[in-house]
């Protein structure tokens, strides 16, 4: 009995990158700011508010992230 063979393989993506980055509909790479997880008492309120907004990743590193996610 022979089985029908499908495509040889799928491209594997990096799950760690998938958890840390988001790709927008237009192809921008978004990431979360650092240093806002804990010990917030001694940080300024302005810094804490700024840390809530996702930032846009640019340049070669954005291309690398897209490659890790199988998009580029």
List the chain domain ranges: 15-34+42-68
3-state secondary structure of 38: coil
Residue among 61, 55, 64 at smallest CA distance from 30: 55
What is residue 10's predicted lDDT score, i.e. its pLDDT?
A: 83
| Low-confidence residues of the chain: pLDDT under 50 | none
pLDDT, residue 53, reads 96
Question: In this predicted structure, what is the pLDDT of residue 2?
Answer: 57
C-alpha closest to that of 71 among 30, 15, 11 = 11
The pTM assigned to this predicted structure is 0.79
Give the H/E segment covering residue 30: strand 29-31
Backbone angles phi, psi at 33, to 5 degrees: -70, 155
- Tell me the pLDDT tens digit for each residue of 21-32: 999 999 999 999
């Amino acid at each position: 009995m022979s089985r029908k063979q499908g495509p040889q393989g799928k491209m594997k993506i990096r799950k760690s990158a998938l958890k840390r980055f988001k790709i927008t509909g237009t192809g921008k790479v978004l990431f979360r700011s650092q240093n806002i997880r804990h010990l917030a008492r001694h940080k300024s309120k302005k810094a804490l508010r700024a840390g809530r907004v996702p930032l846009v990743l640019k340049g070669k590193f954005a291309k690398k992230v897209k490659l890790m996610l199988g998009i580029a």
